[in-house]
Amino acid sequence: MKKVIKNGTIVTAVDTYQADILIDGEKIVQIGAELLTNGAEIIDAEGKYVFPGGVDPHTHLDMPFNSTVTDDDWESGTMAAAFGGTTTILDFCLTTGDDTLKKAVQRWHGKAEGKAVIDYGFHLMLANVDEQVMSELPTVLNEEGITSIKIFMAYAREFQADDRTLFRTFKLAKDEGALVMVHCENGSVIDELVTQALAKGQTEPIYHALTRPPEVEGEATHRAIELANVAGSQLYVVHVTCAEAVQEITEARAKGYKVWGETCPQYLVLDQSYLEKPDFEGAKYVWSPPLREKSHQDVLWNALKSGALQTLGSDQCSFNFNGKKQLGRDDFSKIPNGGPFIEDRFSILFSEGVAKGKLTVNQFVDIVSTQPAKLFGMFPYKGTIAVGSDADIVIFDPNVTRTLSAQTHHMNVDYSAFEGMEISGEPVSVLCRGNFVIKDKQFVGVPGSGKYLKRQKFNHDVIQTASVAKI
C-alpha cells in the first residue's frame, strides 16, 4: 500500500522545505506539493520535521568483550535504535575466535537474523592481519559487501594491533576500496599506566580515566594518520574525545589527507567527573576512550560545526550496572568498557545541537544520517530524502520536552548514562523501507524485518558531492 506524508517540513543535509512525500513499497517515489493521495495511507506530519532515518555507524550488539558479552542483543538494540530515530546501524563483526573470516561473518549474520527490526551492515574487526587473513579478506569483503575494516590501537591484552598490522590493513584497504576505522589510543602505554596505578592500590573507576590521558589518544591519532597516508589509504577515526585528537585530524585534513572523524553523544555532554560518583557508580561511565575534562566538549562541538569531525556514532556497548559492571568492583581495569547510547544519539544531537543553537538543522541531518551513509557506501539509498531513496523516515516533534531515564528507555540495561537529562524533541513515528517500526511512539515493527546491507566500495567522490535531491 502507498503512503503519503503530508504537511511536514522535510529536512535534508542541504535543504529545508514543505512538501508531501509519496512512498510506494520500500521507496520514496515522489516529493511535491499537494500530492494526490488516491487511496494511499495518509500520515499527517503537521508541525513536525521529516528527517531521513538516522544512520548509526558504530554499534556493538551481542558482542563478546572484556571477558563477558554486551547486554543488548540485535532485538533490544535495534528496537531501541528505532525508538530513537535510527533506521540503519553498522555493527562490528568480531573475527577473533573464528578460524576463518567467513565463519566470523556467518556467526554475525546468525546474531542479527530473525531479530533486527531496522537495516544493518557489518564492519570487519581485525586484530591480527596474517597471511591467512590477507588472502581471505578480498573475497569476504566482495562477497559480503563489507567496505569498512576496524583496527584497535588500544586494549593491549585483547584486540590491540601492532603498527605492522595497522599498516598492512591500510594497504589492503586501499586496494580493496575499504575505509579503515581505527580506535586511536596507545594501548601499550595505557597498559603500563594501569599496572602502575593498580600497584599503588588505585582501584576506583576514576583511575580508568586517569590512566588513559588525552595525550595517548592524540599520539595514536597522529600515528594512524601518518601510517594511513604512507599507505595512500583512507582513515576514519572512531569516537574522538579530545582537543588533542581533533587537532591532529584538523591538521591532516588541511594537508589534504583522506581522514574523517566521529564523535559520540556521551563525549559532547558528559565529563570525567562522572567517574568519581560514589559507591562504584562511576563504573556506569567507564568506556574507552574515557570521558574528558569539560573543556573538551566545546572543541568537539566546534569540530562538528566546522566539519573537522563529520559523524556521530553511538558506540553502543551496554553492560548492566547491577550485573557485568560489577566485575570491576575491586579493580577498575576489570570493568567492562562501554555504555548504552544507541537510543539517545539522535535526540541528544538535536536537543543539545539544534535546539541550543550550536548546529543548523541541516548540519544535524548531515552528521546523524547523511555523512555516515556517504562514508560507508550507502548513499543515496540511505542518508537522505530523495526520489529513489529507501523510505527511511523519522517524523520528529521538536516541541516536546522530555527527561531521559532508564525507567522509560528501551535498551536492555538497568541504567541511563543520561539519567535526568531534559531534552527537546522526540521521534514520533519511524519508517524503515516504507514500513512503520514506530508509530505514534509505539513499537509496531517485526523482529527479523531488518535487511542486511551489502554496501558500495569507499568512494571519495561520493563524499565530496553535495547531497542530491534526486537519484
Binder of residue 368, out of Zn ion, ligand URP, none (CB less than 5 to 8 A by kind): none
Q: Are 250 and 221 in contact (CB under 8 A)?
A: no
Smallest gap, in angstroms, from Cβ of residue 392 to ligand URP?
Answer: 25
Nearer to Zn ion, 49 or 74 (CB): 74
Nearer to Zn ion, 48 or 58 (CB): 58
Sequence-separated (6 or more) residues with CB below 8 Å from residue 402: 422, 423, 426
d(CA 80, CA 86): 9
Tell me the one-letter amino acid at 395: I
d(CA 65, CA 81): 21
Smallest gap, in angstroms, from Cβ of residue 338 to Zn ion?
Answer: 7
Q: How many other C-beta atoms can be found within 10 angstroms of the C-beta atom of residue 349?
A: 26
Smallest gap, in angstroms, from Cβ of residue 288 to ligand URP?
Answer: 4
User: Using CB under 6 A as the criterion, which residues of the chain lie in contact with ligand URP when the complex forms?
Assistant: 60, 183, 287-288, 315, 317, 337-338
Nearer to Zn ion, 183 or 324 (CB): 183
Select from 459, 300, 417, 365 the least CA-distant residue to 85.
365
Q: Are 289 and 239 in contact (CB under 8 A)?
A: yes
Binder of residue 219, out of Zn ion, ligand URP, none (CB less than 5 to 8 A by kind): none
Smallest gap, in angstroms, from Cβ of residue 289 to ligand URP?
Answer: 7
Smallest gap, in angstroms, from Cβ of residue 273 to ligand URP?
Answer: 18
d(CA 233, CA 151): 14
d(CA 311, CA 63): 23
Q: Cell numbers of 208, please?
A: 580508568
Binder of residue 287, out of ligand URP, Zn ion, none (CB less than 5 to 8 A by kind): ligand URP
Binder of residue 337, out of ligand URP, Zn ion, none (CB less than 5 to 8 A by kind): ligand URP
Nearer to ligand URP, 9 or 70 (CB): 70
Nearer to ligand URP, 221 or 337 (CB): 337
Binder of residue 338, out of Zn ion, ligand URP, none (CB less than 5 to 8 A by kind): ligand URP
Smallest gap, in angstroms, from Cβ of residue 251 to Zn ion?
Answer: 6
Q: Cell numbers of 436, please?
A: 512503520
Q: Are 276 and 206 in contact (CB under 8 A)?
A: yes
The dihedral region occupied by 174, where left means phi > 0, alpha psi between -120 and 50, and beta the remainder, is: alpha
User: Using CB under 5 A as the criterion, which residues of the chain lie in contact with Zn ion when the complex forms?
Assistant: 183, 222, 248, 315
Q: Are 303 and 243 in contact (CB under 8 A)?
A: no
Binder of residue 10, out of ligand URP, Zn ion, none (CB less than 5 to 8 A by kind): none
For residue 235, what are the β-bridge partners? 180, 259
Nearer to Zn ion, 337 or 371 (CB): 337
Smallest gap, in angstroms, from Cβ of residue 97 to ligand URP?
Answer: 16
Binder of residue 332, out of ligand URP, Zn ion, none (CB less than 5 to 8 A by kind): none
